[in-house]
Structure 1
Amino acid sequence: MMPYSSNTSAAGAEGAEQCIINDQMGPFIVLYILVFITGLPGNLLSLWAFISSPTEKQQSSRIYLVNLLAANLLLLLALPFKILMDIGAAPWNLMVFHCQASAVTIYISLYASIAFLAFIITDRYMQDCPSLRSLRLHEVGFARLLSVVVWLLLLLIMVPNMALPTKRVQVQQHLKCSSLKTDLGLHWHALTVFLCTALFLNASAAVLVSSGLTLKRLLRSRCDPKLWSDARQAAASVTAVAAAYVLSFVPYHVVRTPYTLAQTKVINDCSTERQLFLGKEATLLLSVLHICFDPMLFFCLCSPFRRTARKMMSYCRRPTDCNEEKETVQPTTSALQEAAV
């Protein structure tokens, strides 16, 4: 889109350059709403469980899990703005706000989740490996420092996308966020994508190496029948977490780079840009889906969280039990009254 100059020139430019890529968002809207509805209760329950769980014995894994939960909550805060924009029900100012702020927030939370999932998997390997227990890499202080570094690094990379000046464009139903960016904004956006892709590649290498070494160590215990059953369960859990990581984040990064080339006008074909946009949205949805399954990860890896969650579930069951008892008592009382009459 072109900035305002005159009605005639703007209309002519639009007819020549307009390429609507986000007019087929119906299926994505439904799926994003389902992800939001499914992920919100589990993460709110996780937040309450972490707040209520005891903290006398802090562990590095708990630090990473809490930061992963913070990334999930940040994503849940930004997701409604994306849904409203995709529906087309958002006012113009809210659409611009999504492009400048909430869309960037989604990517901050996405890459924070990638980093902390990689830390969790690596930390689990280091805690189970006797030769690495003497290192300070899995200590609580180091985990806190590493978490702060991750958040500061992501903010340093992403916040300029919010702060850089934007162009004025005509009000339209299907706003393309890249049309708001100046040349400087587009160049910084491309740099952001490549820096975050480098972060993802490093995190993926750590995940694959840690998972492979964990599986190798677990499979060595197959000679001991007493340890083999536990080793198989542990190997299955490690494989499941690593596979979920790969399936959630690898497809998105395969599509992300060529789509960025289309945003920066390196790829100018409209039909190609539409296909890349739909591929980016589909794989982004796959990446966002992790917020629905992370509460199960919290439950499996954090014993204080498990205890608190079980207490909460037991408290939730008690009122229903009391109601059932009242319902059984009431017919008996009424029957006695009828008998007395």
Structure 2
Amino acid sequence: MASSSNSSCVVNDHMEPFAAVYIIIFLVGMAGGLVSLWAFIRGRATKKCMNVYLMNLLTSDFLLMLALPVKIAKDLGVDSVSLTIFQCQCSGVLIYINMYASIIFLAFVSINRYLQITQSSRMLHLQEPRFAAVMSAVVWLLVLFINVPNMAIPIQKELPDALFTCSDLKTQLGQHWHLLSVLLGMAIFLNASAVLLLSNGLVLKQLWGRRHAEPNLRASARQATISIATVTGAYVLCFVPYHAIRMPYTFTQTKIIDDCELRHSLFLAKESTLLLAILHLCFDPVLYFYLSSSVRLKVTGVFSSKRSRTGDKQEMAPATALERKLEAEP
């Protein structure tokens, strides 16, 4: 049952601007996701470790696309008790399943790229598609274990007169598990971020060392540096702000912070940073293009078909040869 302070403190009003941005993200992400899916299928993506992680990342993106229409409807002001319950119990949880699955798979992608560059025989088994499939299954089991109870734990039998936030619906057990899932999510984020930043830093070190040893690879090393820096920057932009505000906002849900003005400010901060986190839906198709040769060749093949086929072959041959020489080249 909602407290009196909750009933007099509205924190989630005027959400229409968020809905407008979410619509754009949904349309761009859906277009990019469908093109990537088509390229993976039609390009007959080889069973490589990298492709396994990327296809799981794409699967996670489609889960997020299923959840966004409900959030958009709520932010547009659709006043429905059943829609609010569905968002809190189902679609809202899908957003967090996607977020933490994506964070882990991005960390695996970074590790795999480092292993490709080093070409260490001792780590060869870590690059096998079977190992990647097993690790992907472990990731899904982990994120589902953390988040599915937020779906399954029943809500209060007596609903508050006005539904403001999802925390107003949760029972005491639901609030405790929600807090636990937030803490576990923070642990995933911190560990995955350390792995991603370390792996990308080591990749850059290897590439620039190779650049001095093999002068003909300078252009490739420069291009790889730009692409890795872009991916790292996008990761920081999308996920760091949200996790910086996540714990203070959680204190408002657990009633540790009860000041209405502060709760409202933290709610807006959480929604703004959550929007940044969901923005990765637009960045991921670029990642598929750079990291999967089958996707890249299929997409570029569509555009190059409008040009002379002879000219295309001459242009693509050097890039293909370079790709074979630098397996980790984005």
For the criterion TM > 0.5, the same-fold answer is yes
Superposed displacement of residue 229, structure 1 = 2.2
Match of 1:335 in 2: none
Tell me if the contact between 1:249 and 1:287 (Cα under 8 Å) persists in the aligned partners.
Answer: yes
Corresponding residue to 2:219 among 229, 235, 240: 229
Aligned with 2:13: secondary structure? coil
1:107-153 CA-to-partner distances (Å, cap 9, x unmatched) read 10111111111111111111111235643112101100000000011
Match of 1:304 in 2: 294
Match of 1:79 in 2: 68
Would you say how many aligned residue pairs link Structure 1 and Structure 2? 305
Which has the larger displacement, 162-171 or 207-216? 162-171
Match of 2:312 in 1: none
1:178-212 CA-to-partner distances (Å, cap 9, x unmatched) read 10001111111000000011011111011011011
Superposed displacement of residue 39, structure 1 = 1.1
Match of 1:164 in 2: 153
Q: Superposed, which structure 2 residues align to 1:1-341 within 5 Å?
A: 2=2, 14=4, 17-55=7-45, 57-131=46-120, 134-167=123-156, 168-172=158-162, 175-224=164-213, 225-313=215-303
| TM-score of the pair, normalised by structure 2 | 0.87
Q: Distance in 2 between matches of 1:134 and 1:20?
A: 54
Q: Distance in 2 between matches of 1:131 and 1:182?
A: 51
Match of 1:323 in 2: none
Residue 237 of structure 1 aligns with an amino acid whose one-letter code is S
Aligned with 1:136: secondary structure? helix
Identity of aligned residues (%): 50
Superposed displacement of residue 45, structure 1 = 1.3
Residue 260 of structure 2 aligns with an amino acid whose one-letter code is C
Tell me if the contact between 1:92 and 1:171 (Cα under 8 Å) persists in the aligned partners.
Answer: no
Q: Distance in 2 between matches of 1:309 and 1:42?
A: 11
| TM-score of the pair, normalised by structure 1 | 0.84
Q: Distance in 1 between matches of 2:231 and 2:207?
A: 15
| 1:49/1:277 CA distance change after superposition, 3 Å | same
| 1:310/1:218 CA distance change after superposition, 3 Å | closer
Tell me if the contact between 1:126 and 1:133 (Cα under 8 Å) persists in the aligned partners.
Answer: no
Gap runs ≥5 in structure 1:
3-12, 319-341
1:15-62 CA-to-partner distances (Å, cap 9, x unmatched) read 77532110021221111111111111110111122122224x310000
Gap runs ≥5 in structure 2:
308-330
Which has the larger displacement, 305-314 or 183-192? 305-314
Q: Which has the higher Rg, Structure 1 or Structure 2?
A: 1
Residue 264 of structure 2 aligns with an amino acid whose one-letter code is R
1:271-305 CA-to-partner distances (Å, cap 9, x unmatched) read 11111111111111111111112111111111111
Tell me if the contact between 2:289 and 2:296 (Cα under 8 Å) persists in the aligned partners.
Answer: yes
Residue 71 of structure 1 aligns with an amino acid whose one-letter code is S
1:83-117 CA-to-partner distances (Å, cap 9, x unmatched) read 10111125221111111110001110111111111
Tell me if the contact between 1:127 and 1:133 (Cα under 8 Å) persists in the aligned partners.
Answer: no
Residue 299 of structure 2 aligns with an amino acid whose one-letter code is A
| 1:314/1:255 CA distance change after superposition, 3 Å | same
